Amino acid sequence: MRRWGGLRYMILYQLRDTPLNGVEIMEKTENMSMGWWRPSPGSIYPMLNSLVEESFIVKRDDGRYAITQRGIEEISGWGMPHQGQHSVERAVEELENNLTYLEDSPPDKVAPFVARVKRIGERAQKLGSRS
């Protein structure tokens, strides 16, 4: 969250690929934080209203919010990929950032995933032998 500037940028980041409603944003935020944080309706909906007022997003007739070009421009300065701007360099940067997150997490939260992380590491080592 701190890296993206708080809830405002978390919402814009989530809407960059697909429109979502408030509940979907809360669920996606909880999933992105691996269950550590779920924003409340009292924080999501006022922020959505503010983002609409600032023309960063629009509320569609189906109740979902969609990012505007202005919203895309707002997050582009934060180094977040959107619609076709993903690259190998960004993927490696995400891996490094996620590894740091795991290193900083309480051991009891990471323990159930150690074997899986080890398999991912083994796959990463295979990448070096492809050249």
Of 14, 20, 15, residue with least CA distance to 1: 14
Tens-digit pLDDT profile for residues 33-91:
888 888 889 889 999 999 999 999 999 999 999 999 999 988 886 544 444 445 677 67
What are the backbone angles phi and psi of residue 76, rounded to the nearest 5°? -65, -30
In-domain check, residue 82: no
Same domain, 57 and 107: no
- Report d(CA 129, CA 114) in Å as an integer: 24
Q: Are residues 57 and 22 in the same domain?
A: yes
Shared domain for 8 and 69, answered yes or no, is yes
CATH assignment of the domain containing 44:
1.10.10.10
Domain that holds residue 115: 88-128
Please tell me the predicted confidence (pLDDT) of residue 21. Answer: 95
CA distance 27 to 71: 21
The number of folded domains in the chain is 2
Residue 83 lies in a domain: no
